[in-house]
Amino acid sequence: MKTDDLINMLASGPDVSAPKLPVLQFAVMIAGGLLLSIILMLVVLGLRPNLGALAMLPAFWIKMAFVLALAASGWLAVTRLSAPGARIKKLPWLIALPILLIWIIAGISMMKAAPEQRAYLFWGDTWHYCSWLIAILSLPILVAILKVMRQLAPTRLRLAGAGAGFAAGTAATLVYSFHCPEIAAPFIGFWYLIGILIPSVIGVIIGPRVLRW
């Protein structure tokens, strides 16, 4: 929504309904960013060769449930922060809940593991690049989300930028999960979150400039 459109809508009186948003256009833009991320993952990284075997393990589905829960809260953050005056009091709790659960699972798995295995549960084989790959895969999604949010009416620009980055990071994490060999909860609960925080911080920094209307 452009500034002039919003001013005209407010000046016309309370009985005038808000202009219809091009929902299909927005969906296509975000789907395009997600598709670019998927293509990037497939071309550069590729699907995990033993994905079928991993899918037989409960830890794999715990990972996927965690990522999907964060992705859902990321989408909610974008929709709420794109509209002026939307309530977001419950949003931090919705984001914190899956994180708290994965940390509880991680703590239990660390306590049950033999002492010599605990370091590997946390570091895995890919700690040195996992978070950065998630951040890179999030970039086309972040660009698409910011383009959509710019056409709406966000008022809390830094927070909206953080929400855009968080949503992009969680979507990229879901994409990356189909390549990543790691399924241990201690690894997922730390390094995946770092990967999501990187685009979130980028959103905080560029939000006021990119989303200003």
Spans of all domains in the chain: 3-210
pTM: 0.87
Distance in angstroms (rounded) separating the CA atoms of residues 30 and 44: 21
Confidence of residue 3 (pLDDT cuts 50, 70, 90): low
pLDDT digits (tens, 9 = 90+) for 136-182: 999 999 999 999 998 887 888 999 999 999 999 999 999 999 999 99
Distance in angstroms (rounded) separating the CA atoms of residues 133 and 105: 24
Give exposure, 121-142, as e/b (b: 16+ Cβ within 10 Å): bbbbeeeeebbebbbbbbbbbb
Query: Is 161 in contact with 82 (CB distance < 8 Å)?
Result: no
Q: Which residue type is seen at 42?
A: L
Q: Which residues contact 101 (CB under 8 A, 6 or more apart)?
A: 66
- Any idea which residue has 């959103």 for tokens? 203
Distance in angstroms (rounded) separating the CA atoms of residues 192 and 200: 13
- Output the average pLDDT for the chain: 89
pLDDT digits (tens, 9 = 90+) for 17-64: 444 556 778 889 999 999 999 999 999 999 999 999 999 999 999 999
Query: Is 168 in contact with 199 (CB distance < 8 Å)?
Result: yes
The tokens describing 149, both together, are 């949010």
User: Which stretches of the chain are DSSP H helices?
Assistant: 3-11, 23-40, 51-54, 58-81, 91-112, 115-123, 127-150, 157-177, 185-187, 193-210
Q: Which of 89, 78, 97, 66 is nearest to 163 (CA)?
A: 78
